[in-house]
Amino acid sequence: MKCQYESQRVAYPYFIAAMALFAAQVLFGLVVGIQYIWPDFLFPAIPFNIGRMIHINLLVVWLIFGFMGSAYYLLPEEVEGEIFSVKLALLHFWLFLIGGATAIVGYLFRWHDGREFLEQPTIIKVAIVVVVLMFIFNMFMTIMKGRRKTGISVVLFIGFLGLAVFYLFAFFKPDNMTLDKYFWWWVVHLWVEGVWELIMAALLSFLLVKITGIDREVAEKWLYAIVGLTFLTGIIGTGHHYYWIGTPAFWQTWGAWFSAIEVLPFAAMVAFSFSMVSKRARNHPNRAAVLWTVGAAVLSFLGAGVLGFMHTLPQINFYTHGTQMTASHGHLAFYGAYAVIVLAMASYAVPNIRGVMPTHQKAEIFAFWTMSISMVLIALSLTGAGIVQVYLQRILAIPYMETQSYITIFYAMRLFFGATFTIGLVVYLYDFFLPGKARAESPS
Amino acid sequence: MTKTSVRNMVIGATVIVSVVFLYMTYLSYASLSERTNSEKISEEVAWGKRVWEKHACIDCHTLLGEGAYYAPELGNVIKRRGEAYVKIVLETAAVQGWGTTRKMPQFDLTEKDINGLMEFFKWMGEIDTNNWPPNIEG
Ligand code: HEM
Ligand code: HEM
Ligand SMILES: [Fe+2]
């Protein structure tokens, strides 16, 4: 297998950067995970807040690298034409990498803003906007110059446009904390339960069309239905964050009803991938890519759909709000939906870019199961921690710090599964950076 | 159903929910002064919020249940601990940090910063949160 279009290769550095940053993200996850048990670890050089900020910012940056690389890989095949400007793609690759690295290193020196996930100093935020605009321009021109416009390419484009537009709310920092929180969620919630879901669904559709050989007409109908369900439920579903922050009580009704059905787009992605794979026209040789693709649908359903639903009703959220339950859901949702879909694209695209047959299939399949099972167990450990925390702190009214001393065992379990996760990751990276030498026999 | 009719339904549904969402956003905005006492946001409160952000307190603590889960909820900290105690915490943190197991780092807090944070916490404590948290421990 080879790339059909020369410019698809520009995706390669994006995937490399994504993998390197992924490794760093997990490293900092281990640091903060250790601090939960031994608070003096690396203290005060890297206090918990700095480590956590690096952990999550790296996550978001590597996912966006992965999304962009995926887009550059699939666009030429979708629109049947080369990328508008490879130079521009490389230029904003470096800009993003330098900007991202500056931010992360800056955090270590306490150069940061102070809103969760949006800690980037203003100038870095501006740089991010510039990078994304360059990318969107390149994408737009590629689609316009291509021979055809497909549903997949248009949905992907809308996803990125939304990513850029909602990020603009990161610049809004009013003095009123309630107002601040209200629009903070327009970045965070409307990303992960809105426009990012479009990006995920578009990548999923692309992969399913490629690996099953099924006609795109079928896939695109599913894709539109998923987009519709996402917006129908996710926009008003933002209300599940407006129960207790000083916003009106009507959100408890609206947020509950709409967010409760936010599970639908994720359920649809599961049904979509199973139906496509069971009706497949051929068996794709890259079995690992098939596994990652179906895995993204299933794991996002578990992390976002099931764990999300568990705490989304106000009657339950009243007790679980801001506890380890939230962290449990946050981990499996981010991993299952966004990390895994990027890994699926990398698994599919990178061997094609290199012009080799996919190698180390066994190693990669081992990595999939090790990372995914570990992440499910991390989430379950944190659910255990959350249940005990809710009982002690929210029901028995025991002080926060005291409750923490009772749940160390769950933090130890989380760290243990963090270590097994890291084993899976190391195997994955070995396969990624040191592939075997099998050459492609037949282009397809 | 054809692809086009699915697409048109998607666009229609998105427009409708967006309009409803924007209207509810307007209602939320309109209720802000009543529910959060916005007229009481003094210079000190605003300064306190900026100090809160400067030191990324949110990446250890929760504030109205949002943030990190490594340290106690602070939205109602004045009610839980009383003003005098909270002030001692901040003054100690400015010199050597705070805490015995999980520790708060030493922050360079001026008198103005500490005063701002106190006013900020007092203002936060008066927000109408629909009776969250379930008890004073946050
Ligand atoms: C892939 C999609 C999703 C991702 C990546 C994701 C991620 C997250 C993260 C990171 C948080 C914590 C935010 C914070 O720090 O305050 C969160 C909170 C929350 N999520 Fe999700 N989520 C997703 C989908 C969903 C869905 C589908 C639902 C419900 C149906 C849901 C329900 C919630 C709720 C209720 C909270 C607030 C928890 C609290 O009160 O503390 N999420 N989500
Ligand atoms: C080796 C494994 C990992 C460990 C030990 C770990 C540990 C942690 C810790 C201690 C926190 C802070 C929780 C708090 O605020 O109290 C955190 C937050 C977070 N981590 Fe990880 N992490 C790991 C891997 C990952 C991976 C692979 C992802 C995503 C793909 C991820 C996504 C997140 C997210 C989204 C948050 C914020 C959660 C929230 O606000 O609710 N982590 N992690
Ligand atoms: Fe949400």
One pLDDT digit (tens) per residue for chain B, 138 residues = 888 899 999 999 999 999 999 999 999 999 999 999 999 999 999 999 999 999 999 999 999 999 999 999 999 999 999 999 999 999 999 999 999 999 999 999 999 999 999 999 999 999 999 999 999 999
**Residue A248 pLDDT class (50, 70, 90 cuts):** very high
Which residue is associated with the tokens 């890519």? A289
Burial of A206 (0-12, 13-18, 19+ CB in 10 A): buried
Residues B16 and B81 in one domain: no
What is the per-residue pLDDT across A100-143, written as a single tens digit (0 to 9) for each?
999 999 999 999 999 999 999 999 999 999 999 999 999 999 99
Whether residue A25 contacts residue A66, with contact meaning beta carbons closer than 8 Å, is answered with no
- Position A438 confidence tier, pLDDT thresholds 50, 70, 90: low
Are residues B89 and B73 part of one domain? Answer: yes
Question: Has residue A440 got a pLDDT over 60?
Answer: no
Q: Does A158 touch chain B (CB under 8 A)?
A: no
B29 touches chain A (CB under 8 A): yes
Ligand approaching nearest to the C-alpha of A28: 2
Which of A235, A243, A244 has its CB closest to that of B17?
A: A235
Predicted TM-score of the model (pTM): 0.97
* Gyration radius of chain A over CA positions: 21
Task: Output the pLDDT for position A442.
Answer: 42
Phi, psi (5° rounding) for residue A284?
-75, 135
B56 and A112: CB-CB below 8 Å?
yes
Q: What residues line ligand 1, using a CB cutoff of 6 Å? A: A 116, 192-193, 240-241, 259, 262-263, 300, 304-305, 308-309, 311-312, 317, 321-322, 326, 329-330, 333-334, 337; B 65-66
User: Helix or strand or coil: residue A175?
Assistant: coil
Q: How far is CA A435 from the centre of its chain?
A: 25
Rounded to whole angstroms, the Cα distance separating A123 from A36 reads 32
- Chain B, 1-20: which have a CB under 8 Å from a chain A CB? 1, 3, 6-7, 9-10, 13-14, 17-18, 20
Angle between helices A122-145 and A86-108 (to 10 degrees): 160
Predicted local confidence at residue B2, as pLDDT: 85
For B118, the domain range is 38-138
Q: Do B104 and B59 fall into the same domain?
A: yes
| pLDDT score of A434 | 87
Residue A437 — very low, low, confident or very high, per pLDDT cuts 50/70/90?
low
How much is the CA Rg of chain B, to the nearest whole Å?
21
What is the model's pLDDT at position A443?
A: 41
Residue in A closest to B39 by C-alpha: A176
In Å, how far from its chain's centre is CA B92?
A: 23
Count of CB atoms situated within 10 Å of the CB of A95: 15
- What's the rounded Cα separation, in Å, for the pair A290 and A204? 11
Q: Are residues B54 and B19 in the same domain?
A: no
Contact A4, A76 (CB under 8 A): yes
CB A303 within 8 A of CB A334: yes
Task: For residues B65 and B125, state if they share a domain.
Answer: yes
Distance in angstroms (rounded) separating the CA atoms of residues A415 and A381: 9
Q: Where are the extended beta strands (E) located within B11-126?
A: 62-63, 66-67
Average pLDDT over residues A419-432: 96
Q: Does A281 touch chain B (CB under 8 A)?
A: no
The mean of the pLDDT values for chain A is 96
Return all residues near A99 (Cβ < 8 A) that are at least 6 apart: A124, A127, A128, A131
**Residues B69 and B22 both lie in one domain:** no
Listed residue (A368, A249, A388) closest to A328, CA to CA: A388
Q: Are A191 and A234 in contact (CB under 8 A)?
A: no
> What is the whole-number distance in angstroms between the Cα of residue B10 and the centre of ligand 2?
34
Tell me how close the Cα of A195 comes to any Cα of chain B, in angstroms: 12
Residue A408 CB neighbour total at 10 angstroms: 12
Work out the angle between the directed axes of helices A177-190 and B3-30 (0-180°, nearest 10).
170
Nearest-CA distance B103 → chain A (Å): 7
Is B113 at the interface with chain A, CB within 8 A? no
Round to whole Å and give the CA distance between A330 and A336. Answer: 10
CB atoms within 10 A of CB A42: 16
* pLDDT at position A356: 85
Tokens of A108: 């270590």
Would you place residue A97 in the very low, low, confident or very high pLDDT band (cuts 50, 70, 90)? very high
**Rounded CA separation A371/A431 (Å):** 14
Same domain, B104 and B81: yes
Distance of residue A335 Cα from the nearest chain B Cα, in angstroms: 18
Q: What is the largest CA-CA distance in chain A?
A: 67
B59 with B115, same domain?
A: yes
Contact between B14 and A404 using a beta-carbon 8 Å cutoff? no
A174 and B CB contact within 8 Å: no
Q: Are strands B66-67 and B62-63 parallel, antiparallel or unpaired?
A: antiparallel
Do A245 and B64 touch, CB atoms closer than 8 A?
yes
Co-location of B42 and B85 in the same domain: yes
Query: B29 phi and psi, to 5 degrees?
Result: -65, -40
Query: Nearest residue of A to residue B45 by CA position?
Result: A175
pLDDT per position as a tens digit, A178-209: 999 999 999 999 999 999 999 999 999 999 99
Measured CA to CA, the distance from residue A169 to residue A144 in angstroms comes to 29
Round to whole Å and give the CA distance between A2 and B136: 62
Q: What is the pLDDT of residue A435?
A: 80
Angle value at C-alpha A337, between B4 and A209, nearest 5 degrees = 45
CATH number at residue B78: 1.10.760.10
Total structural domains in chain B? 2
**Phi and psi of B63, rounded to 5°?**
-135, 115
> A441: pLDDT confidence band, cut at 50, 70 and 90?
very low
What angle (nearest 5°) sits at the alpha carbon of residue A238, between those of residues A233 and A241?
Answer: 140
| Contact (Cβ atoms closer than 8 angstroms) between residue A371 and residue A319 | no
Residues 6 or more apart whose CB falls under 8 angstroms from that of A51 comprise: A28, A31, A32, A35, A42
What tens digit of pLDDT does each residue of A339-376 get?
A: 999 999 999 999 999 988 887 789 999 999 999 999 99
Tokens at residue A245, please?
């922050």
Q: Could you write out the DSSP letters of every residue in B3-17?
A: HHHHHHHHHHHHHHH
Task: Give the integer Cα–Cα distance in Å for A195 and A189.
Answer: 9
Enclosing H/E stretch for A106: helix A86-108
Name the residues around ion ligand 3, CB cutoff 5 A.
A 189, 193
Q: Are residues B114 and B46 in the same domain?
A: yes
Q: Which chain A residues touch B70 with a CB distance below 8 Å? A: 35-36, 48-49, 52
Residue A3, pLDDT score: 87
SS3 content of chain B, % helix, strand, coil (to 5): 60, 5, 35
Residues B54 and B81 in one domain: yes
3-state SS string over A284-328?
CCCHHHHHHHHHHHHHHHHHHHHHHHHCCCHHHHHHHCCCHHHHH
Q: Is there a single domain that holds both residue B83 and residue B49?
A: yes
Is B40's Cβ below 8 Å from some Cβ in A?
no
